[in-house]
């Protein structure tokens, strides 16, 4: 059941609430601390009265480890104004396959349904299907902003997965449009054949065609929102190889119309190479950078994450 919340009075009236985008993705190379930074940012927003959902799209979930609490497939409230969800990719895929099967059962002849079922089972085992199901879940969650959540913070998978996730809605749109055109031709052909042989058929809506059109609209909305209401905050550590990957990701984001937010430089040692940190600051001078020092203790749990925020102010 979809829960509906009203925005808190503080979130609407407090002039100190930051005017950040409604949707923020944290991304970067594996191991740089993006999950930690996503959790810290979500706490920052929640502490300021914004109903915030922290969502993981990384199949290798670690938000529960960072927050030091059990999480699951449904959103769990972990503090005032903060909910966290670590979706089960396999469960999301099963829900998706079941929904497609239900649509097929309403629209297709009964005798071909066993073949459709076998095809769906085969497709579900294909590469990238779990990732696609998580993208579906993300798009559905984005539709809940701002009615359910004031802010959505996304802890994404490493850089390559993040880039595919961001591009997926616009990549899928032409494919869905093609399926819809094929279905329209099939429906029109059936009606024409019935007319030729002298039969009659009431003009009823086709459930499968309706689903395809709804899917196309959902993809178009998601693609637009990802560029208009979202930004990506890249996290890196001050090393040449990590900077090179981050630089490539930033260029791709800019070239394809995505907004790049403040860049987080994590685990900065006291003896950091001045050349590397200087290059990081210069490369991302337009977006701005914040730096978190390397310490001997991992920031685990809400209190430690709030302490980390003092270094990122």
Nearest to 292 by CA among 280, 302, 301, 283: 280
The pLDDT value given to residue 40: 96
Output phi, psi for 288, to 5 deg.
90, 150
What residue segments make up the domains of the chain, in order of their start?
9-309
| Tens-place pLDDT, residues 257-283 | 999 999 999 999 999 999 999 999 999
Quick one: which H or E segment has residue 103? helix 89-107
The pLDDT value given to residue 154: 96
pTM over 0.75, yes/no: yes
The pLDDT value given to residue 24: 97
| Tens-place pLDDT, residues 77-88 | 999 999 999 988
The pLDDT value given to residue 58: 83
Q: Assign domain 9-309 one CATH number from 3.40.47.10, 3.40.50.300, 3.40.50.2000, 3.60.110.10.
A: 3.40.50.300
The pLDDT value given to residue 4: 31
d(CA 175, CA 166): 17
The pLDDT value given to residue 28: 93
Query: Can you give the pLDDT of all 313 residues of the chain as single tens digits?
Result: 233 333 333 444 454 555 678 999 999 999 999 999 999 999 999 999 999 999 998 877 889 999 999 998 899 999 999 999 998 877 766 666 677 667 666 666 676 667 656 655 655 555 556 677 788 889 999 999 999 999 999 999 888 878 888 877 776 666 556 665 676 666 555 554 444 454 444 445 666 677 777 778 888 888 899 999 999 999 999 999 999 999 999 999 999 999 999 999 999 999 999 999 999 999 999 999 999 999 888 899 999 999 998 877 5
Virtual torsion, Cα 109, 110, 116, 121, nearest 10 deg? 160
d(CA 137, CA 93): 10
The pLDDT value given to residue 303: 94
Q: Which residues contact 137 (CB under 8 A, 6 or more apart)?
A: 57, 87, 92
Beta 82-85 vs 76-79: how paired, if at all? Answer: antiparallel
Tokens linked to 173: 């749109």
């Amino acid at each position: 059941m979809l829960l509906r919340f009203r925005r808190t009075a503080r979130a609407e009236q407090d002039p100190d609430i930051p005017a950040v985008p409604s949707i923020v993705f944290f991304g970067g190379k594996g191991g740089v601390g993006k999950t930690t930074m996503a959790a810290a940012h979500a706490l920052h927003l929640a502490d300021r009265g914004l109903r915030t959902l922290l969502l993981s799209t990384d199949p290798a979930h670690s938000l529960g480890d960072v927050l030091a609490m059990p999480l699951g497939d449904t959103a769990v409230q972990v503090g005032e104004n903060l909910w966290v969800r670590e979706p089960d990719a396999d469960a999301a895929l099963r829900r998706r396959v079941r929904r497609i099967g239900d649509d097929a059962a309403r629209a297709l002849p009964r005798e071909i349904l066993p073949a459709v079922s076998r095809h769906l089972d085969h497709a579900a085992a294909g590469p990238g299907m779990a990732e696609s199901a998580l993208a579906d879940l993300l798009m559905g969650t984005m539709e809940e902003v701002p009615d359910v959540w004031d802010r959505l913070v996304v802890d994404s998978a490493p850089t390559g997965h993040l880039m595919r996730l961001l591009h997926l809605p616009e990549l899928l749109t032409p494919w869905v449009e093609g399926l819809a055109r094929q279905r329209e031709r099939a429906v029109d052909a059936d009606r024409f054949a019935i007319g030729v042989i002298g039969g009659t058929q009431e003009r009823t809506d086709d459930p499968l065609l309706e689903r395809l059109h709804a899917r196309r609209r959902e993809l178009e909305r998601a693609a637009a929102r990802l560029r208009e209401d979202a930004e990506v905050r890249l996290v890196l550590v001050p090393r040449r190889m990590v900077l090179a990957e981050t630089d490539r990701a930033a260029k791709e984001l800019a070239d394809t119309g995505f907004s790049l937010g403040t860049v987080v430089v994590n685990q900065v040692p006291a003896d950091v190479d001045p050349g590397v940190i200087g290059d990081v600051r210069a490369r991302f001078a337009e977006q701005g950078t914040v730096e978190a020092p390397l310490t001997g203790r991992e920031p685990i749990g809400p209190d430690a994450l709030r302490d980390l925020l003092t270094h990122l102010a």
